[in-house]
């Protein structure tokens, strides 16, 4: 029987960050992950954007979480020797005169936005209402997740397999799983948590996102380009083009209907031909109030959760994982907005 402090289920961005901060605290962890190819973290573009949604509201806690995320990703990049974090300008094309006015009104005092003196990408983009520049970033999840997995393996802290809830034994003292014993188990398994009976009271509102991978001959940029669809340059020369939001879906696979909708948005943005080279789909793990879901089951204190990162996993995960670690180390009280207990 191997005894550790924490069993962590899932190595998306949530399990990666939580295990990282617990290891930094000197805790022994084992992460169990089945590497689902279309998990949210494996399909996401990794965008960090200070402005939220179509109403251009400042992203929740951004001034606090962004510097924290940046420092954490740069630290991991140095440790793992892979590119993880890139600051990028978001070239945000206004879809209408009304949205242009709304943007200017909402962002007058923002340090993260500016109105450019001249238009970029005139050959490529249809932008009759102009554009703004937002200071954002991307996290290269495609390099971070596998490199961190190897790091965990080098510490004998990774079990690359599917976790079966039926094999979990829970007591007041802790949990047992096969020949593993831990003080606590923390579910970081993304949308799979919605099927976990321990968390059936949580009001999850998962939503599916689809993405196209497109080639746009001649368009070379490091910027993110955003209108009703967002283009993110990839290492292989393609653009990640997404993503849709669907709340009612039979499965997590790509669909012809969303391909059509995404292509419609691409046709409204691009003045040049493009070629679709791939299509991806995944489900975002969200709670109904769009706040992270963190804490322990009130009746089973050995069972925890770190979930609900919604559309903002890359910006929220580092700060929230460190906060959870501080709570576990009894250095902080859990922020009420994120506390699992709000659902019980
Ligand atoms: C199309 C799309 C685009 C997105 N774009 C962005 C973006 O640009 N920026 C941003 O910040 N966020 C984005 N998001 C949201 C982001 O992806 C999520 O917030 C984040 O990835 C959630 O991470 P997670 O670790 O909680 O869950 P997940 O990434 O789903 O990770 C869960 C992990 O648990 C594992 N797992 C599940 N069940 C088991 C089991 N029983 N046994 C073992 N392992 C298991 C899975 O294999 C997986 O590795 C996007 C999401 C989608 C779908």
Topology of 89-136+207-284 in CATH? D-Amino Acid Oxidase; Chain A, domain 2 (3.30.9)
pLDDT at 344: 95
Angle between helices 62-80 and 13-24 (to 10 degrees): 80
- What band does 65 get if pLDDT is binned at 50, 70 and 90? very high
Q: 252-266 burial string, b = 16+ CB within 10 Å, else e? A: bebbeebbebbbebb
pLDDT at 192: 97
* Helices and strands, counts by H and E, the chain: 7, 19
209 Cβ inside 6 Å of ligand 1:
yes
For residue 326, the SS3 value is helix
pLDDT at 110: 83
Nearest CA to ligand 1 atom 4: 44
Residue 250 confidence (pLDDT) above 90:
yes
211 Cβ inside 6 Å of ligand 1:
yes
Class of domain 2-43+143-204+288-343: alpha beta
- What band does 172 get if pLDDT is binned at 50, 70 and 90? confident
97 Cβ inside 6 Å of ligand 1:
no
Residue 102 confidence (pLDDT) above 90:
no
Give ranges for CATH 3.50.50.60 in the chain: 2-43+143-204+288-343
Strands 230-233 and 239-242: antiparallel
pLDDT tens sequence across 184-238: 999 999 999 999 999 999 999 999 999 999 999 999 999 999 999 999 999 999 9
**Ligand 1 centre and the CA of 13: distance in Å?**
7
Give ranges for CATH 3.30.9.10 in the chain: 89-136+207-284
Report how far residue 238's alpha carbon sits from residue 314's, in angstroms, rounded to the nearest whole number: 21
> 300 — alpha (psi -120 to 50), left (phi > 0) or beta?
beta
Report how far residue 174's alpha carbon sits from residue 3's, in angstroms, rounded to the nearest whole number: 10
- What band does 3 get if pLDDT is binned at 50, 70 and 90? very high
pLDDT tens sequence across 37-57: 999 999 999 999 999 877 788
pLDDT tens sequence across 297-342: 999 999 999 999 999 999 999 999 999 999 999 899 999 999 999 9
């Amino acid at each position: 029987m191997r005894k550790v402090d924490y069993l962590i289920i899932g190595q998306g961005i949530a399990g990666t960050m939580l295990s990282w901060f617990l290891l930094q605290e000197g805790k022994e962890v084992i992460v169990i992950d089945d590497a689902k190819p279309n998990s949210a973290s494996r399909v996401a573009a990794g965008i960090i954007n200070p402005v939220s949604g179509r109403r251009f509201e400042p992203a929740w806690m951004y001034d606090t979480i962004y510097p924290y995320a940046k420092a954490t990703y740069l630290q991991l990049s140095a440790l793992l020797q892979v590119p993880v974090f890139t600051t990028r300008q978001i070239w945000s094309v206004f879809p209408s005169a009304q949205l242009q006015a709304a943007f200017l009104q909402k962002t007058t005092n923002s340090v993260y936005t500016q109105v450019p003196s001249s238009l970029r990408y005139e050959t490529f983009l249809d932008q009759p209402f102009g554009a703004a520049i937002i200071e954002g970033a991307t996290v290269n999840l495609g390099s971070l997740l596998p490199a961190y997995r190897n790091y965990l393996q080098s510490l004998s802290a990774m079990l690359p397999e599917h976790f079966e809830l039926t094999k979990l034994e829970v007591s007041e003292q802790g949990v047992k799983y096969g020949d593993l014993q831990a003080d606590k188990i923390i579910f970081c398994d993304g949308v799979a948590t919605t099927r976990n009976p321990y968390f059936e009271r949580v009001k999850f509102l998962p939503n599916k996102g689809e993405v196209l991978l497109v080639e746009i001959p001649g368009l070379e940029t490091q910027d993110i380009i955003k209108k009703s669809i967002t283009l993110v340059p990839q290492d292989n020369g393609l653009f990640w083009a997404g993503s849709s939001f669907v709340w009612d879906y039979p499965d997590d696979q790509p669909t012809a209907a969303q391909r059509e909708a995404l292509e419609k948005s691409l046709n409204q943005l691009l003045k040049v031909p493009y070629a679709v080279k791939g299509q991806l789909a995944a489900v975002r793990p969200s709670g109904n109030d769009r706040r992270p879901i963190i804490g322990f089951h009130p009746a089973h204190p050995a069972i925890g959760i770190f979930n609900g990162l919604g559309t903002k996993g890359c910006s929220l995960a580092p700060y929230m994982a460190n906060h959870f670690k501080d709570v576990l180390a009894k250095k902080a009280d859990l922020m009420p907005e994120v506390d699992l207990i709000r659902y019980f």
